[in-house]
Structure 1
């Protein structure tokens, strides 16, 4: 049986905000990504890339933050399940970190394409 309370819309928003506060407090990489993405996304008002590019860049930034949250969740669950070092625990954490690295690479490629398209297009 799952240990889950009855669904309540506003209570679930509270849980989500508590999770956001937790990741903000405990994950330096999440804060760093916010501090990098916030000015980049504000700069979209000045670049005039067009709707499709703007949506792709916003989606890429949010997608990276979502994957960072999932990565942090995986790391916590692995630490809870196996506090001592185990090769599979390390592999699970490394794989989750790879997902973050791939989304950051995707963001970099999106920004390079958008800027190059603006300059050379």
Structure 2
């Protein structure tokens, strides 16, 4: 069964769940972002945001957490390949962190657009 198309997809889904759990369990940045995601979700219910606002909020949460996961993967890979300090590895890690920064700024702007008028 696991060699069928559906079996391979299910196996891949299992790896994805495992990876998400590993991020939540081991990465402080994802843990903080998860708490923020829960808080803005509660705020969404409290302020009864519209369907479009929900979509934007969910996309922002997903974007930030996804990019953070990719950043973690890039950092782990860089540290594995070259554990000692190296300027190029530092550059790669900084660029990956910069991607998270862009996503986080976009999420904050979306949150401001949604919630500031309601306050």
TM-score range, shorter chain: 0.7 to 0.9
Displacement over 3 Å in runs of 4+: none
Using the size of structure 2 for normalisation, the TM-score is: 0.87
Structure 2: runs of 5 or more not aligned: none
Kindly report which structure 2 residues correspond to 1:60-71, keeping only aligned pairs within 5 A, or say none.
60-71=60-71
Kindly report which structure 2 residues correspond to 1:10-49, keeping only aligned pairs within 5 A, or say none.
10-49=10-49
Render the CA deviation track for 1:74-112: whole Å, top value 9, x for unaligned.
001111111111101001111111111111111111111
Structure 1: runs of 5 or more not aligned: 1-5
Task: Quote how far apart the aligned CAs of 1:45 are.
Answer: 1.6
Specify the SS of the correspondent of 1:85.
coil
For 1:3, the equivalent position in structure 2 comes to none
Kindly report which structure 2 residues correspond to 1:1-121, keeping only aligned pairs within 5 A, or say none.
8-119=8-119
Specify the SS of the correspondent of 1:66.
helix
What is the CA RMSD across the aligned residues, in angstroms?
Answer: 1.5
Structure 1, 28-37 or 43-52: larger mean CA deviation: 43-52
Task: Quote how far apart the aligned CAs of 1:30 are.
Answer: 0.4
Distance across 2 between alignment mates of 1:45 and 1:58: 13
Distance across 1 between alignment mates of 2:51 and 2:57: 10
Contact 1:49 / 1:118 at 8 angstroms: preserved in 2? no
Distance across 2 between alignment mates of 1:25 and 1:71: 16
Specify the SS of the correspondent of 1:49.
coil
How many corresponding residue pairs?
Answer: 114
